[in-house]
Structure 1
């Protein structure tokens, strides 16, 4: 099934000028990871405090794109500056999962969102990432299989923001969230059993 990971190399080329600037200004990979985490927490807090206001949902779209750009840049900076480390990898994985929870749980602030369906989608997304990390232990490579990896999930929740902005009936929103959960379960299965290797763009 197609995944946004398939366009990762093209996205990295798009970010090349920003990458060059980060290296020139000696911005570390961990600093970029921390910035992505901080923006995610701030964005989630904004949505929660606003009570799921339309303006906050609208702000989520550029925030999610910026987060994905920072997530791509931190790995590129680490590789090109030779600063990759186990500690940095752990920080990146923890920050990614924390960012997901911080940005997606606050959708509960939108009146009418089914909290069981939303939390199921968020929690299975966390398990997706943990299952990818698990493959490192036995196979030496992290699993990035789809159909709903980190970038795909960011797109999916960005689409959720759009659906809420256009006042899609909540029953259909619930169906959408249940579909995301089902796709997460398929992704978990794929990451646990399918062969692994270097991620796209490496």
Structure 2
């Protein structure tokens, strides 16, 4: 299933020099993971507090791009410089889910946007990530199948944030895009369970 996640190897190649410099300076994978999570939560709180200032939502696509880079960097530091730890595995999964929720929920406070739809989108994203994590419990690998994986959601909410910031999306368009994200997230949930079972067999 097509997903932005499939571009990850090329993205990692571009980031490798940065990763090597960070390692040389003593930066660890867990520090990068926690840092990205903390900034995501702080940005979510800022957007929730100032949701009436819609141009601030341009920070969503900017931070989503940086966050995707940081997510790739922490994984590369862990794998390529022997920094993989059990704590890191927990932080990697938990920080991603918390950050996604923190960056998504402020959209529920925008005029005309359906709060219930935003909450359901956040829940469906959480469930799809949980289904991916459950792969090893079923005898499969950690599943990253799309079409609405972590990177795809980051792109979709980045587009939504930019559209709102520049006044391109009104409430109808915003709710429509959220509905598309929801449908694709639910299909991702189904797809990860299906592919995990197929792999385990």
* TM-score interval, normalised by the smaller of the two chains: over 0.9
Task: Give the C-alpha shift of residue 157 in structure 1.
Answer: 0.4
8 Å CA contact retained: 1:3, 1:152: yes
Superposition deviation, residue 167 in structure 1: 4.1
- Aligned partner of residue 15 in structure 1, secondary structure: helix
* Equivalences, count: 197
Alignment-derived partner of residue 120 in structure 2: 120
Structure 2 counterparts to residues 83-162 of structure 1, below 5 A:
83-162=83-162
Q: 1:38 to 1:52 in 2, by over 3 A?
A: farther
Residue 111 of structure 2 contacts residue 171 of structure 2 at CA under 8 Å; is this kept in 1?
no
2:20 aligned residue: 20
TM-score when normalising by structure 2: 0.93
Please, which runs of 5 or more residues in structure 2 have no aligned partner?
none
Q: Tell me the equivalent position of 1:179.
A: 180
**1:109-160 C-alpha deviation (Å, 9 max, x unpaired):** 2221111111111110111110000112122410000000000000000011
CA distance in structure 2 between the partners assigned to 1:95 and 1:52 by the alignment = 27
**Equivalent-residue separation in structure 2 for 1:54 and 1:22 (angstroms):** 35
Task: Using the TM superposition, name which of 78-87 and 50-59 deviates more.
Answer: 50-59
The CA distance in 2 between the partners of 1:59 and 1:173, in whole Å, is 17
Quick check: 1:61–1:158 contact (8 Å CA) kept in 2? yes
The question of whether the paired residues in 2 share the 8 Å contact of 1:53 and 1:110 is answered with no
Is the 8 Å Cα contact of residues 60 and 157 (structure 2) preserved in structure 1?
no
State the Cα distance separating 1:108 from its structure 2 match: 1.7
Shift of 1:17: 1.6
The root-mean-square deviation of aligned C-alpha atoms, in Å, is 1.5
In the alignment, the residues of structure 2 paired with residue 32 and residue 116 of structure 1 have an alpha-carbon distance, to the nearest angstrom, of: 32
Which segment is superposed worse, 52-61 or 156-165? 52-61
Does the aligned pair in 2 maintain the 1:46–1:56 contact within 8 Å?
no
Change (3 A) 1:92 1:52: farther
For each residue in 1:70-100, what CA deviation from the matched residue of structure 2 results, as whole angstroms up to 9, or x when unmatched?
1111110001111212221111101110001
